[in-house]
Structure 1
């Protein structure tokens, strides 16, 4: 394992998670494959119907329940550095009752937020006296505050997706379909260093007014704005996400007018980022600019979401979230304006809260790009 990986997934994180489990009054965390397990152990386990589960009691020794056929993969993963016991189970075993027997009586357990329902129900049967809660309530404080290594991973992801946006003007041509452009973008995401493509949104003309449109066979026409929102997962496990807007030829005058408003709104929200500021105030900073110009009803989503091992995670930059920003919080700032049946626009950067402000990890120009 490289030093960079060791810094991203430090051994001390296991103890920190165990302390948080005890502080939350839980008997144990049960972490199946997904971002919670990877965060604590560094192990990117395959999500299978066969149970792989880190059992992390509030007190006592953690162990990893793993199918026999996945044992070699687990032993070659970063989890091998943690000094925990790997407990392989055979095809005819019941791993849920085995976990319950080793864990003993517990009043409350935290289940991985992305645990499959079939697994959570099996645990309910195996531990009938245990209340089930989300492990995210325990891990959120740890996962929200990124370490220096995590911030470096997000910078790397930001640079990789910036490199893809630099190529987008060459893909956007009158007469091409959104799907054709999206295929080129997906190939570029991998070529730029991502391990996987998480999403590709190419919203041309009226499709740009649907924030999560993705792709269609619609042909891009001259004079149309195109919203391009793209992201992937790096080999580190950390995610990229960035939106820019392009126009194939000169866009309509009305679009140019509200795009300038959107630029000011995004800049205002980014400028408001600093420690101690409630998340909802970042949302308000963008929303007030847009509302003041008469476009408030067309800003139909929150201003941002946290990012890390998941594209969407806490903290959420939305009205009603009074969580104060702290150094290490990483999140998107992505206000949008969407005119149904006409067109839309969104500008998105990932920011990291620093000791005295906010650092953008995306650096492509935010002006409308006419191709």
Structure 2
């Protein structure tokens, strides 16, 4: 629970009493969790980070794609794409740091002068760093990199990674008015959408961390806990197992009917639904698993909805075949749900979101399992499989496990559970 001094002083006597009880319960729960979590060990030491050689191969691949698409240079801001190609882990601000990948030749990095030592710390490839002082224009540094790589400023084409901000695009193009500019999505996605064996290994390990953490936390769920208590337990467990930057969502009873939750406070009661959506990363690669539990004895309705969702997951898995359009996965699930009286389409009660999303270094990547998506499934693609059902005023159920495509079809990172009485599932074998 986060309670700063100002909020504490503003609380009335009744609020203070409630806060005291809640804080005491939270402290007790946390203390218990820490003592029981002491047996958890880091399980990620068997996997290694992406190497410099792997990133150099990525640079060569993207440059080949750039040549095929007549893109002279690619500009990327801090984020997953910058990390993917260069290893640089940085953030965005009004001071520009950018990766410049020319169609041929050495990669360039533009950054503020005073940030260069920090940029060097995570830079995992050989790069040409060009610094700019506070009174100077970073866009001039980008222009100079292009000139030094013999890129024509009269007829070349700049590709901007899709998340590059407008002021950056405008600043660059104001100095390169004779050049064309395009979205670099085809080349960046062309590299990132197909995962290597090493990338799949890291994602498998991240999902293993999250599922083992679920196993630890499920046994500790009890009447009187709030979502904050549950999230704290899950965060501690994932961290101790070696997961980085764990994120956790715990939705209780009526809040679980909102796919991403409600601000209203709910306490676990006997028979409560607890929908959790959690993940972490291992060496930069994400997990994403949802589980729905019942504290106490499930009702028939809870069992029926849970089992319907599990069937929806199976249908999605079976539909996800090499060469099939990704959108057909979503269509197959909705057809089944409608036959069960849910929907149609996105209407509630039913499935109000897509069946799944791409995943990798980012929790949400393209391509999606969504109606109308024509991208064909290929080996190396990775997706979440999460066709929940949400019933406003009652509860929601979501089971989510991630899959990766192989030449023989889909494979699970984690195998879903088949029963609400044994609702965890297991870690799939990965070789």
Q: Secondary structure at the match of 2:116?
A: helix
The residue correspondences of 1:13-24 to structure 2 (distance < 5 A) are: 13-24=58-69
Q: Secondary structure at the match of 2:111?
A: strand
- Please name the residue that 2:139 is paired with: 96
Gaps of 5+ in 2: 1-46, 148-152, 424-431
Matched, 1:160 2:212: no
Q: Secondary structure at the match of 1:229?
A: strand
- Say if 1:247 and 1:370, in contact at 8 Å, map to a contact too: no
The residue correspondences of 1:324-339 to structure 2 (distance < 5 A) are: 324-339=376-391
**2:219 aligned to which of 170, 189, 197:** 170
Matched, 1:47 2:96: no
- Say if 2:399 and 2:416, in contact at 8 Å, map to a contact too: no
What's the RMSD between the two structures over aligned residues? 2.3
Q: 1:301 to 1:251 in 2, by over 3 A?
A: same
Matched, 1:352 2:352: no
1:66 shift after superposition: 2.3
- Please name the residue that 1:362 is paired with: 414
Q: 1:190 to 1:356 in 2, by over 3 A?
A: same
Matched, 1:36 2:85: no
Given the two structures, how large is their TM-score scaled by the length of structure 2? 0.79
- Please name the residue that 1:317 is paired with: 369
Gaps of 5+ in 1: none
- Please name the residue that 1:87 is paired with: 130
Return the index of the structure with the highest Cα Rg.
2
Matched, 1:111 2:194: no
Q: Secondary structure at the match of 1:246?
A: strand
- Distance in 2, matches of 1:78 and 1:364, equals 38
Matched, 1:141 2:193: no
Q: Secondary structure at the match of 2:96?
A: coil
Q: 1:98 to 1:4 in 2, by over 3 A?
A: closer
- Distance in 2, matches of 1:249 and 1:90, equals 62
- Distance in 2, matches of 1:100 and 1:266, equals 50
1:351 shift after superposition: 0.2
The count of corresponding residues between Structure 1 and Structure 2 is 366
- Say if 2:389 and 2:397, in contact at 8 Å, map to a contact too: yes
Matched, 1:218 2:263: no
Matched, 1:247 2:290: no
- Distance in 1, matches of 2:245 and 2:206, equals 12
Q: Secondary structure at the match of 1:295?
A: coil
1:116 shift after superposition: 3.5
- Say if 1:223 and 1:250, in contact at 8 Å, map to a contact too: yes
- Distance in 2, matches of 1:201 and 1:4, equals 27
1:103 shift after superposition: 2.0
- Distance in 2, matches of 1:96 and 1:307, equals 32
Q: 1:188 to 1:114 in 2, by over 3 A?
A: farther
- Say if 1:230 and 1:243, in contact at 8 Å, map to a contact too: yes
- Distance in 1, matches of 2:242 and 2:264, equals 26
- Please name the residue that 2:28 is paired with: none
